[in-house]
Chain A
Amino acid sequence: MDKLQLLLSVSMALFALGLLGVIVRRNVLIMLMCMELMLNGVNLSLVSFAQRMDSMSGAVLVFLIFVVAAAEIALAIPIVLLLARRKRTLDLGAYADLKG
């Protein structure tokens, strides 16, 4: 198997597993971690494509995704902390009154 094919398959599997985790898990923190897993899968595909095409743009995009992930987590964690303080639980079923 080609190296690029292997890496692309791994990255897509990571993305699909992260999406599955966001859908099926009930814990809010675990859902956030599965979102990080999706970002990691995208990063892997960007790096392998950048290496195959011999261009630097993929690496720059990966760098930008790092920063966006850090900003996302810095904003998501306080929101989760506030939700957990208000509802006394991390279970998603308790947040059903949030739907519009």
Chain B
Amino acid sequence: MIESLLLHLDTLLLYLFAGGALAGAVLMLVLRQPMRVALALISTMISLGAIYGLLGVHFIAAFQVLIYVGAVMVFMVYAIMLLDVRDPSFTRRFSRLLVPGIAGAVLLLGVLVYAAWENLPAVSRATGAATFGLQQFSAVFLNEYWLHFELISVLLVAAVVAAVAVIKVNQGERG
């Protein structure tokens, strides 16, 4: 009993974290307070990081926790605390697009799952976690994708300049 449980432990953990991620996503839709929604999203992201770790891509799991939970969501939580005004979006959570939105989402999910299950790619070879180290990633990233790396740096500079410009424009209008 214990041995068979330990044998399938990673599969069990995969199901557990997949369920956790889905539960967090559903909670995001129904919770009222933005801070609770943010905490549900953080739990979803941590579950996804655990799934990445179980799949053997450890550096992506680390980046998931560092960048998403550590940077993006902390920024979001700051914004929520800054803007804690009691407004109508707290009492009336859903817009009037609720029913068509649910119908569209169910339709989209059905089409996506059907399309993906119809043409699954075959297993190329024994999917080894050993080929997914940081070393291989770095070699591929800086040899084949160096142009994307440079473009991303340009994008980051543009985002910083744009954020400063948004603040400046608003100050100019006020003062």
Partners in one complex: yes
Residues of A whose CB lies within 8 Å of any CB of B are 2-10, 12-21, 23-30, 32-34, 36-37, 40, 43-44, 47-54, 56-57, 59-60, 62-64, 66-75, 77-82, 84-85, 88-93
Which one of A10, A29, A51 contacts B21 once the chains associate, using CB atoms below 8 Å?
A: A10
Closest residue of A by beta carbon distance from B164:
A78
- Docked pose: A93 CA to B163 CA in angstroms: 25
| Contacting pair B34 A27 (CB below 8 A) | yes
Asked if B167 is an interface residue, CB under 8 A from chain A, the answer is: yes
Asked, given contacts A16-B112, A20-B101, A26-B94, whether A37 binds B25 with beta carbons under 8 Å apart, the answer is yes
Residues of B whose CB lies within 8 Å of any CB of A are 11, 14-15, 18, 21-22, 25-26, 28-29, 34, 37-38, 41, 44-45, 48, 51-52, 55-57, 60, 63-64, 67-68, 71-73, 75-76, 79-80, 82-83, 85, 87-90, 92-95, 97-98, 101-102, 104-106, 108-109, 112-113, 116-117, 120-121, 123-125, 127-128, 131-132, 136-137, 140-141, 144-145, 148, 152, 155-156, 158-160, 162-163, 166-167, 170
Closest residue of B by beta carbon distance from A28:
B89
Asked, given contacts A18-B25, A75-B166, whether A32 binds B76 with beta carbons under 8 Å apart, the answer is yes
| Contacting pair A71 B155 (CB below 8 A) | yes
| Contacting pair B63 A66 (CB below 8 A) | yes
| Contacting pair B41 A54 (CB below 8 A) | no
Asked, given contacts A3-B11, A17-B26, A66-B63, whether A60 binds B145 with beta carbons under 8 Å apart, the answer is yes
- Having A18-B25, A23-B105, A29-B80, one finds 10 other A-B pairs with CB under 8 Å, namely A12-B112, A24-B97, A27-B34, A30-B34, A40-B45, A43-B48, A54-B131, A66-B68, A75-B166, A91-B88
For B148, the chain A residues whose CB sits under 8 A away are 60, 64
Which of B22, B105, B108, B160 has the largest count of A CB atoms less than 10 A from its CB? B105
B111 to chain A, nearest CB (A): 9
What's the dominant secondary structure at chain B's contact region? helix
| Contacting pair B93 A74 (CB below 8 A) | no
| Contacting pair B22 A10 (CB below 8 A) | yes
For B108, the chain A residues whose CB sits under 8 A away are 16, 19
| Contacting pair B141 A47 (CB below 8 A) | no
| Contacting pair B156 A47 (CB below 8 A) | no
| Contacting pair A59 B170 (CB below 8 A) | no
| Contacting pair B160 A74 (CB below 8 A) | yes
- Docked pose: A74 CA to B73 CA in angstroms: 11
